[in-house]
Amino acid sequence: MKFSELGLNDALLKAIKRSGFEEATPIQAETIPLALEGKDVIGQAQTGTGKTAAFGLPILQKLEKKKAIQAVIIEPTRELAIQTQEELFRLGRDEHAHVQVVYGGADIGRQIRSLKHTPAILVGTPGRLLDHLKRKTIDLSEVKTVVLDEADEMLDMGFIQDIESILNYSKNREQTLLFSATMPKPILRIGEKFMHDPEIVRIKAKELTADLIDQYFVRAKESEKFDIMCRLIDVQGPDLAVVFGRTKRRVDELTRGLQARGYNAAGIHGDLSQARRMSVLKRFREGKLDILVATDVAARGLDISGVTHVYNYDIPQDPDSYVHRIGRTGRAGQNGISVTFVTPNEIGYMRTIEQLTKKKMSPLRPPTDDQALHGQLKQAKAEIENLMNGDLGKYEDDANELLENYSALDLVSAFLKNLSKDASEVKVKITPEKPLPYKGNGRRNNHGRGRGRNDNRHYRGRNNNHRDHNRKDRNFRGRGNKHDFVIKKKD
């Protein structure tokens, strides 16, 4: 469906065209007309499906020319809050919409001074919004619309009480919009308590689990995973890749290991300063980094386009996290690939994930060292072709001198050896981590107030049928035909 069919004004249609959007995504096509009518909406859609425009365009169209906060958008993370503010600013530029963002970790004094100009739209994280409300530096009495974005993430990060407090501060609101990738009961209870006859917009399961993403798993021992992942990266040649690790220590070790082997990689997790995290993300978005290594908490809510591959070095402990992880790729109609490393004791986790996504991961055969070398040489030859396009005249004298002493074949072979990476020459040790006990239903049990500070989550409880799960999976190797390594098709 085209945006021109959704009842949007000419100024917004012009901004949409300027942004390069042509047709509305399913969540946009279904949500925008309902939101323009003033109805409450519960939308089930994952990050990357166009939710920001789905709620942002109706808000921008209904803004009145008065000095008051008319809409509040609550986001789980600083990064997503900033991205939302930036997108709303771009879409509302022709209507001179004043959009401000507030989040923790930034100078609250500077935020207070900026708030004196009274933005029409306020975007923020729950904790910082509540700080401003308690300080009475913001007034929500004239707010018409409140948006809860990535509601399940805010639930997992312990923000539910803050969200309820913010909703109580905005009692005069006329509309509440809630978006979530999954719909656990606490999220549905928010809808029952704070929304009036909400319309349900649910993206079909096949769309929710991203049909454009080819989902694979590699069965490997803990000690084998790093070398296999490096060989896969060599063979698949991702343009942009995200590697997920379970803990901060894991992210640090993976980052150092990848860098030692010559990959252009950097890591983010909760212990890094906000400035450092933003710097790494900026480099990744600009294509100056090839591989981003991250914990779930650090990568939540990140809206990064162009990611071609997601590698789950550690299998996530619940299906919701898996959906969010693989949602980093397969966006905007582009194909993506996810590869999940599974140790023998983690088969139960994978089964639970497959039940939620309603899609089985295909077994993937790890590439051999020779295949990995072939992939590296392919990349090296591409680099040489790029170098050939430059001015090489000033190197001719030295080149002729080398040719007098060595054959052209030997020189090119030496050059290729220098450009490629022999993984066996660089030993990397990744500290082993025990798989966490399988809980059976795959849900996390950490809805307390954690604010997402701890990436090293621990899960308690063991399903009594855990041994049965392992017993049933003894014939795991025979399940389906194993795929060979995947070479990404480039345009």
* CA 20 centroid distance within chain: 22
pLDDT the model gives residue 332: 59
List, in order of start, the domains of the chain with CATH numbers: 3-207 (3.40.50.300), 210-368+427-478 (3.40.50.300)
Band (pLDDT 50/70/90 cuts) for residue 427 is confident
Structure tokens at 472: 């049933």
pLDDT the model gives residue 469: 40
Compute the distance between CA of residue 275 and CA of residue 105 in angstroms, rounded to an integer.
10
Residue 204 clears pLDDT 90, i.e. is over it:
no
pLDDT the model gives residue 242: 94
pLDDT the model gives residue 464: 38
Band (pLDDT 50/70/90 cuts) for residue 474 is very low
Q: Over the stretch 356-399, which tens digit does the pLDDT of each residue have?
A: 777 889 999 988 877 767 777 777 777 777 778 878 888 888 88
CA distances from residue 81 to 67, 73, 77, 88, 101 in whole angstroms, order as listed: 22, 8, 6, 11, 7
| Partners of residue 244 on adjacent β-strands | 294, 312
- The verdict on pTM exceeding 0.75 is no
Please state the rounded mean pLDDT for residues 209-223: 83
Q: Over the stretch 87-138, which tens digit does the pLDDT of each residue have?
A: 999 899 888 899 999 999 889 999 999 999 999 999 999 999 999 999 999 9
Answer whether 343's CB lies under 8 Å from 378's CB.
no
Answer whether 313's CB lies under 8 Å from 291's CB.
no
Radius of gyration of the chain (CA): 25
Compute the distance between CA of residue 177 and CA of residue 156 in angstroms, rounded to an integer.
19
Band (pLDDT 50/70/90 cuts) for residue 466 is very low
Residue 209 clears pLDDT 50, i.e. is over it:
no
Residue 71 clears pLDDT 60, i.e. is over it:
yes
Please state the rounded mean pLDDT for residues 182-187: 86
Find all residues with CB under 8 Å of 178, minimum gap 6, and list them: 41, 42, 43, 147, 148, 151, 187, 190, 191, 195, 198
Band (pLDDT 50/70/90 cuts) for residue 218 is very high
CA distances from residue 426 to 256, 291, 378, 433 in whole angstroms, order as listed: 12, 19, 20, 22
Residue 318 clears pLDDT 90, i.e. is over it:
no
Q: Which of 260, 328, 317, 330 is nearest to 294 (CA)?
A: 328
Compute the distance between CA of residue 156 and CA of residue 451 in angstroms, rounded to an integer.
8
